[in-house]
Amino acid sequence: MVLKTVRARGGSWAFLIGVILAVIFGAFGSLDTWVLWVLVIAGIIVGLMNIADEEVSPFLMSSIALIIASAFGGSVLDALPLLGGILNALLVLFVPATIIVAIKHVFSFAHQ
């Protein structure tokens, strides 16, 4: 019970810090290599620690919608580089989290 609380708290902090960093660095347009790695690692932590079994489907639906909108909406947002940078940074955060959660979900089907 305590382990689940610690894992959830760590995953929640990783999610919050990742989103804040994505918004800040995306807004200022400084997506250097180290920032990208921090966002990828935060996304992996979110995917591994933060998503409970009952949250998998809503998380996957939401994150897939965000990924599609960010990836394909980039050409629309050329006139607004501030918003485009934020969406690109969120994309870097959410892609690894989505992949991890999807793989965990597939493995849960295999174990049933």
Q: Over the stretch 84-110, which tens digit does the pLDDT of each residue have?
A: 888 888 999 999 999 999 998 888 877
C-alpha–C-alpha distance, residues 52 and 86, integer Å? 27
Q: Give the pLDDT confidence of 55-67 residue by residue, as tens digits.
A: 888 889 999 998 8
User: Under DSSP, is residue 32 helix (H, G, I), strand (E, B) or coil?
Assistant: coil
C-alpha–C-alpha distance, residues 47 and 99, integer Å? 8
Residue 79 predicted with pLDDT over 90: no
pLDDT of residue 103: 92
Mutual orientation of helices 81-110 and 2-28 as an angle, nearest 10°? Answer: 150
C-alpha–C-alpha distance, residues 89 and 7, integer Å? 24
Q: Give residue 80's pLDDT band: very low, low, confident or very high (50, 70, 90).
A: confident
Q: Domain residues for 15?
A: 2-110
CB of 94 closer than 8 Å to CB of 26: no
Residue range 65-82: mean pLDDT, rounded = 78
Indicate the number of domains in the chain: 1
